[in-house]
């Protein structure tokens, strides 16, 4: 069997890593395509995954349309030659459109019900849509998904990220970090280039939080792109972390994670690190899930976030393991099921 997997964002590399390795070990042929965006290609290299770079990510609405159209065209030519038996992706815009046009059955992993434009372009064309059960079906059916094609599970997509994770307790030393304070906070800016978030990539909601906490803890920041790096690079009290790095070990070694995005917050929560979400957009159902389980705190008010951070830094906070379905097995089963019928 030949499986086509399209990887379009950095977190998807870790998401698909264990799935790719399993399929290859089963003797299946896995054909990987990736979009030029952020650190996707560097992470693929770090994990030793062979891939084909196809197309770019756009910034403005006009550029997004042009780049996506170009990428769909290029993928159509490539995939028509490769002739895969099944197509698999997580929030790829182009894979559902190409696989539908070439009559290739598709498995689609969804975790963002607020990405309306992307969901309208993709969900009506997908054969199997795997999504967290906390996402209301009406939200995706309203974007055109066939309710008979929805397969909900208990948990979130970050479950698969931990399948083969091995903690490196020497991560600070390996990165040669000069940390002179007792506590360390890892921060991640918002996904300002995403179509579902109205944000300025030259600013970040983290700035006032950094200013208030940098005298009390070591501050590590992982910017998403050059503009975000420029926001902090003149502050000598900030340590900028340049991907690709072992972010899982880094999050586990830190005392607190403050994130204006989503994936890294949820990963940190699963690793047992206290997390504060300051995502400036409408809260996703998957984030509400972690908040309700007591694994994540949430605020968009800088002064409240600073207060939460100071409290969380005072003591070691432990929480129990989150009971979830085996998403890795669910995805593997759907890949084989959709081919064999």
Whether 283 maps to a domain, the answer reads yes
Q: Report the greatest alpha carbon distance in the chain.
A: 59
Whether 162 maps to a domain, the answer reads no
Q: Are residues 146 and 180 in the same domain?
A: no
Whether 259 maps to a domain, the answer reads yes
Q: Are residues 231 and 177 in the same domain?
A: yes
Per-residue pLDDT of the chain (341 residues; tens, 9 = 90+): 999 999 998 889 989 999 999 999 999 999 999 998 878 998 899 889 999 999 988 878 899 899 999 999 999 999 999 999 999 999 999 999 999 999 999 999 999 998 999 999 999 999 999 999 999 999 999 999 999 999 999 999 888 888 778 999 999 999 999 899 999 999 999 988 777 777 777 889 999 999 999 999 999 999 988 888 888 988 888 999 987 889 999 999 999 999 999 989 999 999 999 999 999 988 899 999 999 988 999 999 999 999 999 999 987 666 667 788 999 999 999 999 998 87
- Which residues are CB-neighbours of 240 under 8 A, at least 6 positions away? 220, 221, 222, 223, 229, 232, 233
Q: Are residues 124 and 272 in the same domain?
A: no
pLDDT value of position 124: 98
Q: Give residue 329's domain range.
A: 1-153+324-338
Q: Are residues 138 and 194 in the same domain?
A: no
- Which residues are CB-neighbours of 319 under 8 A, at least 6 positions away? 272, 294, 295
Q: Are residues 44 and 148 in the same domain?
A: yes
SS3 92: coil
How far is Cα 35 from Cα 10, in angstroms, rounded to an integer? Answer: 10
| DSSP-based helix, strand, coil % in the chain, nearest 5 | 45, 15, 40
Q: How far is CA 9 from the centre of its chain?
A: 7
Whether 39 maps to a domain, the answer reads yes
Whether 319 maps to a domain, the answer reads no
Q: In the chain, how many domains are there?
A: 2
CATH number of the domain enclosing 187: 3.40.50.2000
pLDDT value of position 60: 84
């Amino acid at each position: 069997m030949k499986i086509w997997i399209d990887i379009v964002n950095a977190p998807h590399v870790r998401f698909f890593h264990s799935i790719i390795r399993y399929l290859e070990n089963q003797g299946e042929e896995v054909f990987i395509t990736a979009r030029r965006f952020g650190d996707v290609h560097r992470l693929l290299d770090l994990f030793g995954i062979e891939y084909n770079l196809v197309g770019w990510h756009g910034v403005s609405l006009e550029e997004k349309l042009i780049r996506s159209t170009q990428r769909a065209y290029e993928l159509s030519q490539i995939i028509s030659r490769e002739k895969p038996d099944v197509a698999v992706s997580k929030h790829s815009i182009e894979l559902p459109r190409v696989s539908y046009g070439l009559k290739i059955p598709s498995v689609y992993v969804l975790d963002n019900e607020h990405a309306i434009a992307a969901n309208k372009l993709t969900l009506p064309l997908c054969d199997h849509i795997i999504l967290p059960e906390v996402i209301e079906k009406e939200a995706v059916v309203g974007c055109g998904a066939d309710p008979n094609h929805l397969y909900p599970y208990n948990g979130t997509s970050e479950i698969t990220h931990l399948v083969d994770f091995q903690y490196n307790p020497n991560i600070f030393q390996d990165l040669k970090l000069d940390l002179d304070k007792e506590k360390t906070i890892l921060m991640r800016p918002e996904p300002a280039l995403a179509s579902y978030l109205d944000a300025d990539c030259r600013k970040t909601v983290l700035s006032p939080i950094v200013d208030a906490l940098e005298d009390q803890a070591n501050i590590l920041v992982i910017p998403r792109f050059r503009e975000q790096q420029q926001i902090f690079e003149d502050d000598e009290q900030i340590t900028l972390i340049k991907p690709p790095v072992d972010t899982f070990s880094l999050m586990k070694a830190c005392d607190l994670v403050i994130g204006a995005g989503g994936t890294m917050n949820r990963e940190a929560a699963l690793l047992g690190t206290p997390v504060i979400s300051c995502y400036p957009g409408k809260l996703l159902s998957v984030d509400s899930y972690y908040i309700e389980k007591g694994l994540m705190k949430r605020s968009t008010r800088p002064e409240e976030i600073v207060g939460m951070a100071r409290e969380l830094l005072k003591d070691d906070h432990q929480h129990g393991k989150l009971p979830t379905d085996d998403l890795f097995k669910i995805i593997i089963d759907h890949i084989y099921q959709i081919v064999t019928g």
